[in-house]
Amino acid sequence: MSGIHGHHDMGHTLAGWTGTAIVTLGTALAGTGLCAASPALLRSGATTILLGALTTWVLHLTGWGKPSGPRPESQWPWRVRDTTAHTDCLGCRLAGRDRRNRPDSATARRRREAAGSSARALP
């Protein structure tokens, strides 16, 4: 990786690249269908776009997607599975992996700190 971003991983992953390729194909199909006035091509393009989003989500949930951010250089390559917990990840929350109420999550710590500071503010 280049030193432009320091130790900040940009999150290029198998899930991201696969989803991008599928959605690009779907966009091309939908665009061709729009130009050719073909409802069948337009529908197949829209279906392919949805399939790309679903594929990206499933790959993310199986560990092949990771958020961008600071991480050790050994975890930067896109072929490396993600080993971290996604405490504030929308995709994980949609899958029922809501970690906000777990005592070790960053969100739970922020809530405890906010509750503690508001309790101290009261007379």
Q: What is the predicted pLDDT for the residue at 1?
A: 46
Q: What is the predicted pLDDT for the residue at 85?
A: 62
Q: What is the predicted pLDDT for the residue at 32?
A: 97
Rounded-to-integer distance, Cα 108 and Cα 91, Å: 18
Q: What is the predicted pLDDT for the residue at 55?
A: 95
Residue indicated by tokens 């504030």? 88
Q: What is the predicted pLDDT for the residue at 36?
A: 96
Domain ranges of the chain: 8-121
What proportions of the chain, in percent to the nearest 5, are helix, strand and coil? 60, 5, 35
Sign of the torsion angle spanned by Cα atoms 81, 87, 89, 90: positive
Q: What is the predicted pLDDT for the residue at 12?
A: 76
DSSP 82: P
Residues of the chain with pLDDT under 50: 1, 101, 103, 119-123
